[in-house]
A and B are shown apart, each in its own frame.
Chain A
């Protein structure tokens, strides 16, 4: 048994001419809470579908709990809990129906867990799923996903459309789920506060390309913000490797940088600034800059010619 719950090798998916996931090499460590980040349309849902064997990749492969994704035997599927985006469930089901349906299908069933999650979300047992509020339906789906005691929990944007109380219940359920130490949780989210609370490791997809895969602490420490103060208007900046945000003001430039090396520092010092201060940056701002970022008044370093890359790759 490997140390990874999920591993992908050069996973790629095209829809027609559109490249949705490209050359993804992802590894989700067992027992971690893994946050999957990226802007809308970056390919997160597609990746999760491919990993679950619900979609076949254009090329590349992936394995989940040690098995190839495209040929998952049923007993492995019993150990994976999947909550798809939008909390899908059959509209006519009440709590009782969902419980009966799910219980008969899975080898393991934890009734206490099922009830606890429903209580967290205050789900009314008498309403049908199509008449439930978003939060209640999310609770029902989450209960159905957690009660079979899966070893791997995959939640695709579970907080979408939930009010703050339901979101809190969602996080409480996730913490409750970690009572088993070997349980792995992967969730994709736009809510950076939730990522900050819950994730051990994160991966960042930037329009089909994996840009970051590290622990949360590493990410935090890699993104640094500097303020360069000048006398008079700030000069044109030369290309600096690792710039993700550059905001020039009247007499200063605010730079957000990634992977600051000694070389970068030297470059900064040679700009002729009166003072250079490093200012602390919150995790949320780091994410926003990393994912979105404004780049004014700075040139990106020349990307190496693709031909060189092509010649270099075997």
Chain B
């Protein structure tokens, strides 16, 4: 086995060297003038796609020799168990792949860890994105092996096993927050890929014998089929004629306007009505593309959200809470001084240290720390640290308000300090705070569990009012009316919570609730959306429906299952039943045993059309011919006819056969002296 391992190593070294070289060049190029978030940018720009390509390349290249049956026979006919040959091959391939990808990344990490290279502190978790990408390449490695070795008739089915690593990459990258979970997903996918690759290697392209490997292969093909189906439906959506979008806006007087935007002949057009649908004549000539109308409506730049209420996967997708984002460890601060004031340092909130790190942007050396008690030089520990992690890191960057659940500060790094402005009641903690109003004259809006507070920058309370809606079910944004400094608050129900609510409230300068408008839900019952929903229903597996909540489909994938729920469900179930029947017919026609047929039919009831495609791709479907004994159609490759039981007749003897009983051997030459 060592022999085979060494041979594989020697054969594939050149490909690993190519990968290593390409990535090293890219890394060194970045290191000449590294961006601040180097260890997060590198994965995003390079290893995210280089890893998969490298893995695919290594996987394909390592089994290219074995695609020809005679070459495969040469490799496999060795006095080593076939599993040992495969193990040696994979060990060599993965070793080369990981080394080729990891070494340049190591160069980047070592460089970033040196003080003076990046204007941020070095944290251990910074290696996670690159580590994930390096390991992810292994998933593509096995997929590459599977798609090269597997005997497939069309290019489409040959590429299907790529579905699993693509899906796992997407999941591990976009949808998973903790690193260990991403690692787990990657390792599970590699195990599935390895099982499938082993099955395909052991039988040279036909996963005939082993059930476990056939299952793994099936999983890979199924993921690819589902991905392809979703892709097709999504792609066809691009061809829906005529776009129309509706949304609400609030004008500078506090009135709600319903805007209907249409695209016709490449031109955008708007219609402005009130929420009830009555047209508003003052907007007749308004063209929102014209910069003169840029400030027609209010900008709601103050967002108030309770972090606990954000559902997954919104946490990872939109609030940078995953391991691939620097924010779980570092929050870059941009708004640190009054507008127009220039500072000689850059600032970062260091979450493990619970302090603000200041860096010289030129030398990139740390200048010092700012805590609640003020500035400390870099070699001394701070006098006091902050209470914990700031609320809502993803909204912190552009805000002067630094909020914790027990205290709110105003950032004044031109004075190298943060000034406390608000301390809530102990039973009513802060869940969100934001800067509201124009940048020059902004105020602080603080939301606690039951109340809303508006403060001046100095900390003086302007007003405090009760908060009607439950922050666990809703999120808010706010703006100040320029004319009379009234606060306009918009309330939205969180994705996935019912009932739907969309409320616009206006508060006076004393904090009195002047009026509240409940806006009706905007639904789109046009036929393209209907058709898209039906199509999606047709391909959607029943099993997924049980697991996946509707709002993910609606919000994330933009399929209107809520509005057209009866259509979606009808199509889904009809498709499922059709698939089950089709499976039954195909399986019986191809002579599958009853237990297997029932298993597959039930599976495809739950798995949908992609399941049928998987089943077709997994088996060699035998041909049929006429049985000469009973005349009915029978399977070509079976010994006995399933109808009449007649065995396939031996070839007729026509007198031209020459057979000799084996006892009539020739001489072995043993009777003579053989020198």
Contact = CB atoms under 8 A, between A and B. Distances in A.
The answer to whether A and B touch directly, with their CB atoms under 8 angstroms apart, is yes
Interface of A: 3-4, 12, 14, 16-17, 19, 22-23, 27, 29, 31-32, 49, 52, 54-56, 58-59, 74-75, 77-78, 80, 82, 84-86, 88-90, 92, 100-101, 104-107, 156, 181, 200-201, 204, 209, 211-219, 222, 241-242, 244, 258-259, 290, 300-301, 303-304, 306-307, 309-310, 313
Given A29-B665, A211-B658, A303 B652 contact: yes
B244 interface: no
B contact face: mostly helix, strand, loop, or mixed: loop
A66 to B, nearest CB: 16
B344 interface: no
Given A12-B639, A86-B70, A105-B4, 20 more contacts: A3-B662, A16-B620, A23-B650, A27-B662, A52-B73, A52-B77, A54-B72, A74-B81, A84-B70, A88-B73, A104-B3, A181-B669, A212-B658, A215-B660, A215-B664, A258-B658, A259-B655, A304-B652, A306-B628, A310-B629
A208 to B, nearest CB: 8
Contacts of B668: 31, 181
Nearest to A179: B674
Given A14-B637, A56-B208, A306-B649, A88 B656 contact: no
Contacts of B73: 49, 52, 54, 82, 84, 88
Nearest to A79: B79
A216 B10 CA distance: 47
Nearest to B79: A78
5 contacts: A75-B79, A104-B2, A105-B79, A218-B664, A290-B656
A218 B69 contact: no
Given A32-B666, A52-B73, A241-B655, A213 B625 contact: no
Interface string B197-231: 00000011000110000000000000000000000
A164 B646 CA distance: 50
Contacts of A310: 628-629, 646-647, 649
B637 to A, nearest CB: 4
B293 interface: no
B3 A56 contact: no
A242 B662 CA distance: 22
A59 B639 contact: yes
B86 to A, nearest CB: 14
B81 A211 contact: no
A146 to B, nearest CB: 14
B7 interface: yes
Interface in B592-650: 620, 622-625, 628-629, 636-637, 639, 646-650
A243 to B, nearest CB: 8
A43 to B, nearest CB: 13
Interface size class of B (residues with CB under 8 A): 35 or more
Contacts of A22: 651
Interface of B: 2-4, 7, 10-11, 65, 68-74, 76-81, 203-204, 208-209, 620, 622-625, 628-629, 636-637, 639, 646-652, 654-660, 662, 664-666, 668-670, 674
A100 B2 CA distance: 12
B666 A80 contact: no
A46 B4 CA distance: 26
Nearest to A200: B666
B622 A16 contact: yes
A149 B674 CA distance: 20
B76 to A, nearest CB: 7
A213 B2 contact: no
Contact of A56 (B7, B77, B209, B639): B209
User: Which A-B residue pairs are the 3 nearest by beta carbons?
Assistant: A17-B623, A78-B79, A214-B660
Contact of A16 (B623, B651, B662, B664): B623
A17 B336 CA distance: 76
A88 B71 contact: yes
Most chain A beta carbons < 10 A, residue from B71, B78, B81: B78
B636 A14 contact: yes
A237 to B, nearest CB: 15
B654 A301 contact: yes
Contacts of B4: 105
B646 A77 contact: no
Most chain B beta carbons < 10 A, residue from A4, A222, A301: A222
A88 B70 contact: yes
A105 B3 contact: yes
Most chain A beta carbons < 10 A, residue from B11, B628, B657, B658: B658
B662 A29 contact: yes
Nearest to B7: A101
A167 B393 CA distance: 78
A70 B113 CA distance: 56
B640 to A, nearest CB: 10
Nearest to A49: B73
A181 B669 CA distance: 8
B636 A309 contact: no
A143 B77 CA distance: 16
Contacts of A54: 69, 72-73, 76-77, 204
A242 B655 contact: yes
Contacts of A85: 70
Contacts of B637: 14, 58
Nearest to A309: B649
Contact of B660 (A14, A77, A80, A213): A213
B3 A222 contact: no
B79 A307 contact: no
A219 B72 CA distance: 35
A218 B657 CA distance: 12
B650 A77 contact: no
A88 B68 contact: yes
Given A105-B3, A217-B666, A259 B658 contact: yes
Given A52-B73, A54-B204, A77-B79, A211 B68 contact: no
A14 B81 contact: no
Nearest to A28: B662
Contacts of A4: 662
A22 B639 CA distance: 11
A176 B559 CA distance: 75
Contacts of B650: 23, 309, 313
A100 B6 CA distance: 11
A82 B652 contact: no
Contact of B636 (A17, A49, A303): A17
Nearest to A82: B77
A195 to B, nearest CB: 14
A77 B78 contact: yes
A211 B65 contact: no
A74 B656 CA distance: 40
Contacts of B74: 82, 84, 88-89
Contacts of A56: 203, 208-209
Most chain A beta carbons < 10 A, residue from B77, B209, B629, B639: B77
Nearest to A27: B662
B423 to A, nearest CB: 74
Nearest to B637: A14
A258 B659 contact: no
A258 B656 contact: yes
Nearest to A240: B655
B660 A218 contact: yes
